[in-house]
Amino acid sequence: MKTILIIGAGKSSKVLVDFLLKDAPAKNRKVILADVDAKVAEKKLAGHPSGEAASIDIHDKRKLHTLIKQVDIVVSMVPAFLHPLVAKAAVTERKHFFSASYESAEMKELAKEITAHNLFFLNECGLDPGIDHMSAMKLIDAEKAEGNQIVLFKSYCGGLLSSESEADNPWKYKFTWNPRNVVLAGQSTSRFIRNGRYKFIPYHMLFRRTDLISFKEEGDFDGYANRDSLNYRGVYGLEGIPTIIRGTLRRAGFCKSWDVLVQLGLTDDSFEMDLPHDFTMRMFTNAFLPYDPVHRLEEKIQRLLPWVDKEIIEKLAWLGLFDHTPLSLFKGSPAVILQAILEDKWNLSPSDKDMVVMQHQLETVSPSGTKKSITSSMIIKGENHEYTAMAKTVGLPLAAAVDLFLEGEIPLRGLHLPIKEEIYLPVLKLLANNGITFDEEAVILKGQ
């Protein structure tokens, strides 16, 4: 019997757990789901005979090693900064390791030990990173195999509300992943290359310099650049490419409105406020505007930021930023207090359904000079509050990789990202069988 240990019973774990339990009896496998609260793990397992719940304190080294010692594979679903603790224990106990998070510098330091012990460690096998890597590499490798040169690569991904859940929400957005990451998004300068020229977008300009990204079924989106697109030249084998941009998607119009919060300073996380306990949401917003005894708060915003129109004012009002309601939090950075305000309005309700959208854009030149444009789009919609689009697109790739590795269909060893065809081809095939597919369209731009 092979035993899989999943550490962390968070939002994305239900899809992962269910997939691995589905064929566990037939494949002679056992799944241990460990969490700080064993009752949460028990609920996720739903009484499955091949599942076992366990309680774990990630900082209790002895208990962590004891738990890992008895299994064959470790799947880490803990917060990203805790992965190295789990990974180091897995190396020590000679166990294979999987995660959906970015490969950290601490993880890379384990590479020699991982190889020396003939282990397989796979990171960045979720959504973004994960499905983005695999689907991109499939396109890139296919074009290279035909002898084509890739001259443009753009990739955008976003976790959003499904269109049927947007009707009463002018922002057309709610939190489908870590709210703090959403509030702090883009607070490092974005770097990319466009037409052979290095480009940089500082935070205060990020939500003004967006691309229009369109999907046939879902319409238009704002795409803003991620922090570092340049690094992916090496990851994807596109070192000499003249244009490479990776970005995040929001519904069209979102970025222009969010930029107001950025310009006012409400997303600032660099200092802490300690506000009087009679502070209202309107007073909080007003604290970031000039003193003006004549004009109302809404007017002051428009005088300070002349491009703010009626639609944007209505969106800010919908969030409650002009209300005389007391704040729910009085101490913290502006970003932390803003997050508390947003969580009231942007929290997914049981009836809400989310959506994940991803699009790759490539332009290639053949040896004969023919230019081709390729667009590859993915739209995944959530089913309910557990089987969300985000949970499916994070949990299924990880589950697929674990399953395929145990089946012997991924023969690699060492520290890896899912950018090799030995990983991405079987994983993408399994994802397609489970409803995660891409719609591809190729157009010849110029022939000779």
Give the CATH number, domain containing residue 6.
3.40.50.720
Please give the radius of gyration of the chain, using alpha carbons only, rounded to the nearest integer.
23
* Two tokens, residue 280: 């209202």
Q: Contact at 8 Å (CB) between 356 and 393?
A: yes
- pLDDT value at position 448? 45
CB-based contact 340:329 (threshold 8 Å): yes
Which structural domain range is residue 58 located in?
Answer: 2-123
Q: Do 158 and 228 reside in the same domain of the chain?
A: yes
136, part of any domain: yes
Rounded CA separation 131/399 (Å): 13
Please give the distance of CA 84 from its chain centroid, rounded to a whole number: 19
Classify residue 117: in a domain, yes or no.
yes
Res. 316: pLDDT tops 90: yes
Tens-digit pLDDT profile for residues 373-411:
999 999 999 998 889 999 999 999 999 999 999 999 999
Query: What is the mean predicted confidence (pLDDT) over 277-296?
Result: 95
Q: What is the sign of the dihedral through the CA atoms of 44, 49, 50 and 53?
A: positive
Query: What span, in angstroms and rounded, lies between the C-alpha atoms of 139 and 243?
Result: 16
DSSP readout, 41-60? HHHHHTT-TTEEEEE--TT-
* pLDDT tens track for 85-139: 999 999 999 999 999 999 999 999 999 999 999 999 999 999 999 999 999 999 9
Classify residue 340: in a domain, yes or no. Answer: no
| β-bridge partners, 223 | 211, 249
Give yes or no: residues 51 and 10 share one domain.
yes
Q: Domain boundary at 57, 92, 123, which?
A: 123
> What pLDDT, in 10s, does the model give residues 51-82?
999 999 999 999 999 999 999 999 999 988 99
Same domain (yes/no): 117, 138: no
300 alpha-carbon distance from chain centroid: 36
Q: What is the mean pLDDT of residues 314-328?
A: 96
- Strand ranges, E, within 96-210: 96-99, 120-122, 149-161, 190-194, 197-201
Domain count for the chain, please give it: 3
- What's the whole-model pTM score? 0.93
Q: Examine residue 129 and say whether the peptide bond preceding it is cis (omega within 30 degrees of 0).
A: yes
Average pLDDT over residues 348-372: 94
- The 10s digit of each residue's pLDDT in 211-224 is 999 999 899 999 99
SS3 258: helix
DSSP string, 380-392: EE--SSSS-HHHH
> pLDDT tens-digit profile of 187-196?
989 999 999 9
Q: Which two tokens stand for residue 70?
A: 């008895």
* Pairing, β 190-194 against β 197-201: antiparallel
pLDDT at residue number 349: 87
420 token code pair: 């090799």
pLDDT of amino acid 446: 60
Place of tokens 């970025």: 255
Bridging pattern class, strands 414-416 and 120-122:
parallel
* Same domain as 249, residue 381: yes
- Residue 306 falls within a domain, yes or no? yes
Average pLDDT, the chain: 95
How many whole angstroms separate alpha carbon 28 and alpha carbon 353?
35
Are residue 193 and residue 247 in the same domain, yes or no? yes
Q: Kindly report the CATH number assigned to the domain that includes residue 176.
A: 3.30.360.10
Same-domain pairing of 148 and 93: no
Could you say which of 91, 123, 155 is where a domain stops?
123
Reported as a pLDDT band with limits 50, 70 and 90, residue 167 is confident
Residue 356 has pLDDT above 80, yes or no: yes
**DSSP states of 262-294 as a string?**
HHHTTT--SS-EE--TT-BHHHHHHTTS---SS
Residues 287 and 141 in one domain: no
Measured CA to CA in angstroms, residue 142 lies from 1, 78, 300, 363 at distances of 38, 35, 55, 13
- Judgement on whether residues 238 and 193 belong to the same structural domain of the protein: yes
**25 within domain boundaries:** yes
Q: Are residues 159 and 221 in the same domain?
A: yes
Structure tokens at 245: 């941009």
pLDDT beyond 90 at 348: no
pLDDT above 80 (res 266): yes
Nearest to 393 by CA among 353, 422, 434, 352: 434
Assigned token pair, 358 = 């991803």
Residues 181 and 204 in one domain: yes
Residue ending a domain, among 97, 123, 149, is: 123
Distance of alpha carbon 105 from the chain centroid: 19
Integer Cα distance of 415 and 236 in angstroms: 16
Say yes or no: 284 and 327 in one domain.
Answer: yes
Q: Is the pLDDT score of 415 beyond 60?
A: yes
